[in-house]
Amino acid sequence: MALLGLFLFTFLAVHLTINLTLLFDPTKVLFNEAAHFMGTNPFIQTFQWVLFAGFVIHIFYGVVLQIQNWMARPKGYKRKALSEDSIFSKYMIYTGIVIFIFLVIHLGNFFFVKMGWVGNGIPEVGGTEDMGQLVIDLFHHQSYVIFYVILLLIMGFHLDHAFQSAFQSLGLNHRKYTPFIKGLGHFLAIVLTVGFISIPIFIYFK
């Protein structure tokens, strides 16, 4: 659970780096080249199934562990420990479910358009798919931007606790280094969340 979480954390960082090119390259060339590379490279095409499996297994373990916790103590403590008062820790399973729904919708948007089931298909430029324009078109819809930003904030809450929790689950708990790990987790969660949110907001108001 912890290792898969850190793996997915790394994926989000790479994903954000590629998406941010839309803010600094109006031509969308860098983004489209990256999208084309990932869509045609055999290794990436194989690895995407590893990534998908990582999401599925991570979600599965999350649900199983939560059910085990509920079964182990069907009745809550009379007095809760301070650690349980953390909203990030208390609602991890629920924010995880919301993120899963967001993931399905996010991937579905591109898949349905690519298959021609929604809209007019993916636009092309120079004979190749203009994925950058597809992203821009999606973020020109106010309702989608608001929905996207809200779900990204929920993702940020999930990531904030997930990073430090992963290290604790791996047994890396030390009175000297744990505060640093927690601080780093807060920082990374904020950077990823603000970074992803800045993209739809910038595109919508541009």
pLDDT at 145: 92
Instruction: Identify residue 67 by its one-letter amino acid code.
Output: I
pTM of the model: 0.77
Go through the chain and tell me how many residues it has: 206
Mutual angle of helices 2-19 and 178-205, in 10-degree steps: 30
N-term to C-term CA, the chain: 40
Contact 7, 61 (CB under 8 A): no
Instruction: Break the chain into its structural domains and give their ranges.
Output: 2-72+87-205
CA separation, residue 11 to residues 40, 55, 71 (Å): 19, 11, 33
Least confident span in 55-64, 113-122, 131-140: 113-122
pLDDT at 110: 67
Separation between Cα atoms, residue 142 and residue 154, nearest integer Å? 19
Closest CA to 185 of 63, 17, 51, 2: 2
pLDDT at 196 over 90: yes
172-196 core/surface letters (b: 16 or more CB in 10 A; e: else): eeeeeeeeebbeebbebbeebbebb
Question: CA 139: distance to chain centroid?
Answer: 17
Band (191; pLDDT cuts 50, 70, 90):
very high
Q: What is the pLDDT of residues 36-94, one digit of tens each?
A: 787 778 888 788 788 878 778 888 887 887 788 777 766 655 555 544 445 556 677 77
